[in-house]
Amino acid sequence: MGNFAPVMAECDAPELIVAEGELPADLRGTLYRNGPNPMFPPLGTKHHWFLGEGMVHAIRVEDGKASYRNRWVHTSQYETQRNAGRRLIGTAFGEPAAPGGEGVRQNVANTNVVWHGGKLLALDEGSPPVAMDGDSLETTGSWTFEGKYAGPMTAHPKFDPRTGEMHFFGYMAAGPASPDISYQVVDASGRLTRSEMFKAPYASMVHDFIVTDEHVIFPIFPATIDVERIMKGGPVIAWDPDAGTRIGIMARNASVDTMRWFEGDPCYVYHPMNAFTLHEGGRTKIVADVMKYARVPLFPNTDGTKARIGLEDTPSMLVRWTFDLDDNSNSYTEEPLTDLGGEFPRFDERFAGQVYNQGFYAANLRPLTPGNPFDTLVHLDLTTGNRRVYEPGEGKYVMEPVFVPRSAAAPEGDGWLTTLVYDRSRNLSDFVVLDTDDISKGPIARVELPTRVPFGFHGNWRNMA
């Protein structure tokens, strides 16, 4: 419904209207966004938002002007269906393919889009990345790191700002419903330098992970994937609190064989904000800030029933987990960082894996209504707890914020917050730039896009060379 529905046209708009304010002269680069954009109607009645074919949107900013382009990601799934002129691959978990779709490798490439090693990579979490041209958005093909890794890749790789390395993992790496997780490191040029495999305590949907400058953290939450349950006709992914939360931690310079597992109460985290390693009083601690749900949203219980509570009842809350690596306990502590829930946490990624103080996320200040997600952006000082918010107004909805530093040497959090805002009254989207000095003052620039951009998942900024 509404802005969850797909747009069916690919377009190029070489010069957009700056409807409010001015684009900063120093803001030069491209904001990429990715999200589900189903190319044909569902096969049945159990369509899941996560499974529409991916479409990448790009807003390029240069010299105070902006342009727009969007393209579907041309996976083998996309190409086969386009040639057939109809849906062949279902958009519900566990749904069989329609006649003609048997044997087609499923890859929606709809969750995130990152720039690394000279390639724009469209990602979901069950497939290898799909490479695209960063300017034209034309698909160049599935990318297997020169044939060295063809397994699944998370949609949330982590980038080390000091080394330029990209770290990523893949779950169900040994096949469907397997507990095996792969871990890879790619250098700044895009060359695979490390690849290992380990078994998690159980098979689950592992959406994201965490990397500090010294450690790697693999959170395993009870959104389980159970073969026996699936064979009996049960849900592919289900909330199974009896499995508990297990969090594996290892040093970055150590083997996966050294993984240490911590245990916690059942919960789910789609997205961490950031994490760092501390050395205090002769002890080593890991601090991880995450958006924590009481249960996994958007998936049923193990018996197939829906949760009795929805997202409006249990929003994710930003909490801080602390792991004491010199303690004999396998537990960890938790403290809330703010009382306003939200999602899509971001930060100044020049401080990825390091001590940091500034965070951003999307939230709701108005009652959540069907078909309309977040209406507010938040800038949170993690040291003081002070926050400022940007509210675009009634009937307007924000997407994930992406921070761009004012300059390479600017202090942490000093720069611009970019996002897309959907305006229900116009049925169009805007590209919005906020100054992090005070986002509550509203946009320093609002650029009208020629189309609406459906509510999707993630995006990133690529600086212009």
Domains of the chain: 2-463 (2.130.10)
Kindly tell me if the per-residue pLDDT of 311 is higher than 60. no
The DSSP code for 327 is S
Q: What is the pLDDT of residues 62-117, one digit of tens each?
A: 999 999 999 999 999 999 999 999 999 999 998 999 999 999 989 999 999 999 99
Q: Averaged over 362-367, what is the pLDDT?
A: 92
The DSSP code for 307 is P
Q: Averaged over 399-414, what is the pLDDT?
A: 97
What per-residue confidence (pLDDT) applies to 308?
A: 67
Q: Which token pair is 123?
A: 């990602």
What per-residue confidence (pLDDT) applies to 367?
A: 83
What per-residue confidence (pLDDT) applies to 369?
A: 75
Kindly tell me if the per-residue pLDDT of 326 is higher than 80. yes
Q: What is the pLDDT of residues 59-72, one digit of tens each?
A: 999 999 999 999 99
Q: What is the pLDDT of residues 9-48, one digit of tens each?
A: 999 999 999 999 999 999 999 999 999 999 999 999 989 9
Kindly tell me if the per-residue pLDDT of 452 is higher than 60. yes
Kindly tell me if the per-residue pLDDT of 450 is higher than 80. yes
Kindly tell me if the per-residue pLDDT of 312 is higher than 60. no
Question: What is the rounded distance in angstroms from the CA atom of residue 268 to the CA atom of residue 252?
Answer: 24
Q: Which is more confidently placed, 59 or 367?
A: 59
Q: What is the mean pLDDT of the chain?
A: 96
Q: Averaged over 396-418, what is the pLDDT?
A: 97
What per-residue confidence (pLDDT) applies to 76?
A: 95
Question: What is the rounded distance in angstroms from the CA atom of residue 139 to the CA atom of residue 137?
Answer: 6
* Predicted confidence band of residue 429 (pLDDT cuts 50, 70, 90): very high
Kindly tell me if the per-residue pLDDT of 175 is higher than 90. yes
Kindly tell me if the per-residue pLDDT of 313 is higher than 70. no
Residue 377 and residue 398 in contact, taking contact as beta carbons nearer than 8 Å: yes
What are the binding residues?
A: 156, 207, 271, 458
What per-residue confidence (pLDDT) applies to 310?
A: 59
Alpha carbon separation from 219 to 173, 196, 253, 295, 328 (Å, rounded): 16, 17, 19, 14, 19
Kindly tell me if the per-residue pLDDT of 370 is higher than 90. no
Question: What is the rounded distance in angstroms from the CA atom of residue 34 to the CA atom of residue 12?
Answer: 16
Which value, to the nearest 10 degrees, does the dihedral of the CA atoms of residues 133, 130, 275, 421 take? 60
Q: What is the pLDDT of residues 258-301, one digit of tens each?
A: 999 999 999 999 999 999 999 999 999 999 999 999 999 889 99
What per-residue confidence (pLDDT) applies to 361?
A: 98
Kindly tell me if the per-residue pLDDT of 386 is higher than 90. yes
Kindly tell me if the per-residue pLDDT of 132 is higher than 80. yes
Alpha carbon separation from 24 to 10, 31, 408, 449, 461 (Å, rounded): 28, 15, 15, 18, 15
What per-residue confidence (pLDDT) applies to 434?
A: 98
Residue 233 and residue 300 in contact, taking contact as beta carbons nearer than 8 Å: no
Q: What is the dihedral sign for C-alpha 280, 255, 172, 153? A: positive
What per-residue confidence (pLDDT) applies to 309?
A: 59
What are the binding residues for Fe cation?
A: 156, 207, 271, 458
